[in-house]
Homo-oligomer: A and B are copies of this chain.
Amino acid sequence: MAKSRFDKLIKNAAGRYVPRVVNGSARIPFKGIDGHRPTGRMASPPVRSYLDYPANGNKVVKSLTEALKKAGLRDGMTISTHHHLRNGDALTNVLFDTIKRMEVKNIRWFPSASFPCHEYLIKYLEDRTIHHIEGSMNGPLGRYASEGKMKGVGILRSHGGRYRAVQDGDVHIDIAVIAAPSADPFGNANGVMGKSACGPLGFALADSEYADRVIVVTDTLVDFPCVPWHIQGNNVDFVVEVPTLGDPEKIVSGTTQLTKSPDRLLIADYVARFVDESGIMKDGFSFQAGAGGINLAFLLYLKEEMKKRGIKARFIRGGSTQYLVEMLEEGLTDFILDGQAFDIEGVRSLYANPRHVNTSPFTSYNPHGKGNFASMIDAVVLGATEVDVNFNANVVTHSDGILLHGIGGWQDCLFGKCVILAIPSFRDRVPIIVDEVTTLCGPGEMIDVVITERGIAINPLRRDLIEKLSRSTLPLRKIEDIQRDVFELCGGEPEKPNVSKENVIAIVDWVDGTVLDSIYPVR
């Protein structure tokens, strides 16, 4: 990794140093949350013709190799995949085995996210089958990049930022390979039928719309029409049938786990009470909560309170779980607007209940659409690996500097009306509230409240919330006070990460495509 690949770093509006050129492309440094107004026109795919597709609608080819060949696979192309199969995904590894066998090199892999199961692909980063990854690198691949071993620079984008990058033409996908739990020979596909059912397929939407060639791979081929069609066959070139897409147990868990940790249960209780006492919880409200232990516990607390008081939400944003589904079925919300299903109840409900609605990063998050749903949500409950005393937060690296997580929809959710970080104040004796985050993923002005087991810190910018909670019995504290307690408990601030700032191994994009921060190799 030669230094010469970068112009020297430049300081952006968040005070972070970022490269001006990344993987050969000029990049705009972050200009402030609302600082960048796009120009130009959207990417425009080539006009196709029915002449080049079978009249009987049968686009099935006999193997992934044949599909890739027909799609014109060659060195240096950009190949995209989605991550709805999560850690149960077997297809992506098979895909790169195939590309390797075809002796094609230097692929830019553009996943919507990668998972620990993709550790298998390190050998293909080593032998340059894959040049670099643009997309989240959870676990082993992140560690590999952090060690400075990846050839190109990783680019981390939010779900909305990824849709935007494709739509705006920042990333041109040559071939999209879409794992489809159910598909018909024409290429219509969904994620709610078949043995590998995973829920929505929205993370692959942009890929299906804008890639030059689209290959749908399924382990459940059904007769036309495959309904619902989350992915539309009219955007698909080839369909490949395989015995299995992966491990259903790891694609969706049978059930999602509640936390048993007393500290986390306490945080969940605080979050629910905060949402209540701040006046957010009222008829017709909306919120988003993920599938982590704190979030699920929060949901249960909230649900009890809503039932007791006869309050109904207008919509809840998924990732769906059995807990959200129960709220829908018990009439505590009119709708679930779902981006991914985390358990089998989520999948079942999405298939069966018209009020459980399939969404995509286009509807939910795309910052360069005519608005999106993210800013309409009353409360979002998020996690973080670090938050600093200025409420800036990090979700991708740990305090040791190692890249271990993707951004997911986290940045997009910061546009919600009340953004709550629900986090333990320390993990493995490492304090979470720091003086300055290792990597900046979310500017502090967008984060309204930090809720820990040791107290709740409201961002001083949110005077309205401070006012509303002024008579609360909740433990409202200054963030610095919580920090001080934890430093005392854990023996001081975490050590600064031992990184080399001469080089950048990955960048964090802001949703608008400007560069928010750099991630450096760990020594």
Instruction: List A residues at the B interface (Cβ < 8 Å).
Output: 34, 37-51, 53-57, 59, 167-168, 186-187, 214, 223-225, 227-229, 232-237, 284, 314-315, 335, 337, 354-355, 357, 362-363, 366-373, 375-376, 415, 512
Contacts and interface: CB of A to CB of B under 8 A. Distances in A.
Contacts of A234: 362-363, 366, 369-372
Contacts of A227: 335, 354-355, 357
B44 A43 contact: yes
Given A234-B369, A370-B237, A376 B57 contact: yes
B41 A45 contact: yes
Contacts of A44: 41-44
25 contacts: A38-B47, A38-B48, A39-B47, A41-B44, A42-B44, A43-B44, A49-B367, A49-B512, A50-B367, A50-B372, A55-B376, A55-B415, A56-B376, A57-B376, A214-B370, A223-B284, A224-B314, A225-B335, A227-B335, A227-B354, A229-B363, A233-B363, A234-B363, A235-B369, A236-B370
A288 to B, nearest CB: 14
Nearest to A223: B314
Contact of A48 (B47, B49, B355, B368): B368
A494 to B, nearest CB: 35
Contacts of A47: 38-42, 167-168, 368
Number of copies: 2
What are the nearest 3 A-B pairs in CB distance?
A53-B371, A44-B44, A55-B375
Given A233-B370, A234-B363, A51 B39 contact: no
Contacts of A363: 229, 232-234
Nearest to A224: B376
A370 B48 contact: yes
A49 B357 contact: no
Given A34-B51, A55-B415, A225 B337 contact: yes
Contact of A235 (B45, B48, B59, B370): B370
Given A56-B376, A227-B354, A314-B224, A38 B49 contact: yes
A337 to B, nearest CB: 6
A171 to B, nearest CB: 14
Nearest to A59: B371
Contacts of A54: 371
Nearest to A167: B47
A331 B169 CA distance: 46
A284 B375 CA distance: 46
Contacts of A370: 48, 53, 187, 214, 233-237
Contact of A41 (B46, B167, B362, B371): B46
A43 B53 CA distance: 21
Contacts of A40: 46-47
B41 A42 contact: no
Nearest to A55: B375
Contacts of A335: 225, 227
Contact of A357 (B167, B225, B357): B225
Nearest to A284: B223
A45 B375 CA distance: 23
Given A40-B46, A225-B337, 10 more contacts: A41-B46, A47-B168, A57-B375, A57-B376, A224-B314, A224-B315, A225-B315, A233-B370, A234-B366, A354-B354
Nearest to A357: B227
A41 to B, nearest CB: 4
A58 to B, nearest CB: 9
Contacts of A214: 370
A172 to B, nearest CB: 12
